[in-house]
Amino acid sequence: MARSTRRTKKKTQTKKAKKRVTASAKKKATKKKATKAGKKKPPKKAKKAGKKKPPKKAAPKKTKKKAVQKRSKKAAPKKAAPNKAPSSRSAAGSATAVASTKITSIAGIVRNHAVELSGKVALVQGERVLTWRELYARACQMAQALRASGVGAEDRVAFLDKNSIEHFEVFYGSGLLNAVSCDINWRLAPPEVAYIVNDARAKVLIVGQDFVPVLDAIAADLPHTKKIVVIGGHPTNPKFESYESFIGGHKAVDPGVQSRPNDVAFQLYSSGTTGRPKGVMITNQNFLGLLPTAIDLWKFDSNANNLIAMPLFHIGGAGWATAGQYVGCKSIIQREIDPAGIVALIGAQRVTHAFFVPVLLQFMLLVPGVDKADFSSLRLIAYGASPISEQVLEASLRTFKCEFCQVYGLTETTGVVTMLMHEDHDLTGPKKHLLRSCGKPAKGVELRIIDNDTGRAVGVGEVGEIQVRSQQVMKGYWNMPEETAKSIVNGWFRTGDAGYRDADGYVYIFDRVKDMIVSGGENVYPAEVENALMKHPAIADVAVIGVPDEKWGEVPMAIVVRKPDVAVTEQEIIDFSREHLAGFKTPKRVSWADALPRNPSGKILKKDLRAPYWEGRTRQVN
């Protein structure tokens, strides 16, 4: 634009000069113009102009080429070895172009880092290691394989396996096509897996070797799926192509498809604790509302070593992994939950960052020798997805000796919407009460607490439903417009969680609204009762549910997991709770369990615990 304006001025002034001045005056006018153009030495200007003027459009191209060449010093050479980096000019050019701009999509992460961090390690799983350049090449091959199988923009690609490098190849490969990666909870039964694959209308299904029996049970019932691929190959059925064969027959060429902010990038299914699973559509824009937090508050950088321990079919795993990869850090992949293995891995891989659910922290604290393990590399542990007892939190702070950050969020909010920062983790001082809080709203997040009966905001200390408005709020539920409309009202997402705010703006989660017990007209929030009971020295784990009662409608009942070799009676627990809680909150009954059923995010499956007590009733309240 600047050159064009200058040329226009030059033509106008020359025409005027022809009418008013002599030949010698024209020279003076030319010098005057050169001065106006910002050049103090006219002879040098003339030389430069002489070089640039003949190819008028070449100058900007030349400048752009130099910039690209300068960046490409870090990039892979064009004649890279197979499976090392995209060998074609189109793939390299696509990556370079994105590298010069801000990351605006999930695909932009791998495109950018393949250039800027090409030789840096991106993924580690056991002995396997991939650099960003190699990950990009594999993702490009995956994109081409998916395209050859009929996958286009916004089509779903289903993935069924435990945490693995292949997850990221499919995740980014789908992104390069503007397709949607859809990870499935591998703990589900075959009919549940089939339901999700069919609901997503996945054109391609990629299955890990461990789940071949699930595939065999459902393969005939997947009408929308045109291609099924098995990681490691199917042991007996050759019609299912092996993963390496699937991508190995394609060149590492970036298809160059660009994504818009509101395009869906990832689809996760809700845990289904209250009904059939719902496909949560997470867009590029949703992710990019969260990802800057990795730098600003979690102190990620490209030298961090991020532990990926939580399942990648859960936002706590996938969101956490993507946040670290956004800044280019190394991701250390733990295939499945193994408390002792994780304790050892932290020291062996010099892990700096990790996200755990409270129950995993609890199990890690029980690992023999945990007090002697090497945690010196740890910078920060984030935790959340389910309530944590003060006892587990205090022990974790003392054991791991790093910064802790509590996070609260949901799949529908692309994860984190509130954070309790490390400075608010005060074990003995005046802020100790904040350990029960989930912190304050994150940057860019609006949060309000509403009385669902009146629709009005409640006051300080009053319990209501937590509602969130943010760039992170999902696009909606896949093919469920009515459910979406119920959940997102005027831009506010209804979390279904009951909570309150204190005078300083800290948020406290009381419970799920649906888990609330109404006993004799009084609201009882199980999480509050559970937190009190966890202080009993004989209780290892506990869940509180509402059970029918002829007098009060329903009453609290505690299901207790006792600590090993510790004796305790039902009456002792009831008496203990009465010392810490109001009478109507005190459990009226206690039952015993060896373990509590939990979903992959660590949440107790209270629906399963309640079922025997409400069997035969048409309503789940009394």
In 3D, which of 528, 406, 410, 548 has the Cα closest to residue 466?
Answer: 410
In this prediction, residue 436 carries a pLDDT of 86
Q: Decide which of 131 and 61 is more confident.
A: 131
Residue 394 in any domain: the answer is no
The encoded tokens of residue 31 equal 């010098």
What percentage of the chain exceeds 70 in pLDDT? 81
Lowest mean pLDDT among 46-55, 373-382, 455-464, 513-522: 46-55
Q: What is the mean pLDDT of residues 137-155?
A: 98
Residue 565 in any domain: the answer is yes
Domain boundary among 40, 56, 72: 56
Q: What is the mean pLDDT of residues 337-351?
A: 96
In this prediction, residue 36 carries a pLDDT of 42
Residue 380 in any domain: the answer is no
Q: How many domains does the chain have?
A: 2
Distance of alpha carbon 134 from alpha carbon 140, whole angstroms: 10
In this prediction, residue 320 carries a pLDDT of 95
Report the residue count for the chain. 622
Q: What is the mean pLDDT of residues 63-81?
A: 37
Residue 397 in any domain: the answer is no
Q: What is the CA radius of gyration of the chain?
A: 30
pLDDT tier at 390, thresholds 50, 70, 90: confident
pLDDT tier at 76, thresholds 50, 70, 90: very low
Predicted TM-score (pTM) of this structure: 0.73
Give residue 51's domain range.
2-56
- By the 10 Å C-beta count (0-12 exposed, 13-18 middle, 19+ buried), 591 is classed as middle
- For tokens 């909010």, name the residue: 413
Lowest mean pLDDT among 77-91, 261-275, 419-433: 77-91
In this prediction, residue 55 carries a pLDDT of 43
- pLDDT at 81 > cutoff 50: no
What percentage of the chain exceeds 90 in pLDDT? 63
Q: What is the mean pLDDT of residues 118-137?
A: 97
Contact assessment for residue 417 and residue 440, using Cβ atoms and an 8 Å cutoff? no
pLDDT tier at 17, thresholds 50, 70, 90: very low
Residue 556 in any domain: the answer is yes
Residue 537 in any domain: the answer is yes
Domain boundary among 56, 78, 97: 56
In this prediction, residue 539 carries a pLDDT of 94
- 45's CB contacts (< 8 A; 6+ apart) are 34, 37, 39
CA 424, 427, 432, 433 torsion: positive or negative? positive
In this prediction, residue 249 carries a pLDDT of 92
Domain boundary among 21, 41, 56: 56
b/e per residue 314-342 (b: at least 16 CB within 10 A):
bbbbbbbbbbbbbbbbbbbbbbebbbeeb
In this prediction, residue 391 carries a pLDDT of 85
Lowest mean pLDDT among 36-50, 97-111, 250-264, 438-452: 36-50
Contact assessment for residue 427 and residue 397, using Cβ atoms and an 8 Å cutoff? yes
Q: What is the mean pLDDT of residues 96-108?
A: 66
**What would the pLDDT profile of 530-578 be if each residue is shown by its tens digit?**
988 999 999 999 999 999 887 777 899 999 999 998 999 999 999 999 8
In this prediction, residue 435 carries a pLDDT of 87
pLDDT tier at 271, thresholds 50, 70, 90: low
b/e per residue 345-358 (b: at least 16 CB within 10 A):
bbeeeebbbbbbbb
Contact assessment for residue 464 and residue 452, using Cβ atoms and an 8 Å cutoff? yes
- Whole-number average pLDDT of the chain: 83
Residue 357 in any domain: the answer is no
**What would the pLDDT profile of 160-172 be if each residue is shown by its tens digit?**
999 999 999 999 9
Name the DSSP letter for residue 22.
Answer: -
- pLDDT at 30 > cutoff 80: no
Determine the straight-line distance between the first and last CA of the chain, rounded to whole angstroms: 73
Residue 31 in any domain: the answer is yes
CATH number for the domain spanning 554: value is: 3.30.300.30
- pLDDT at 381 > cutoff 80: yes
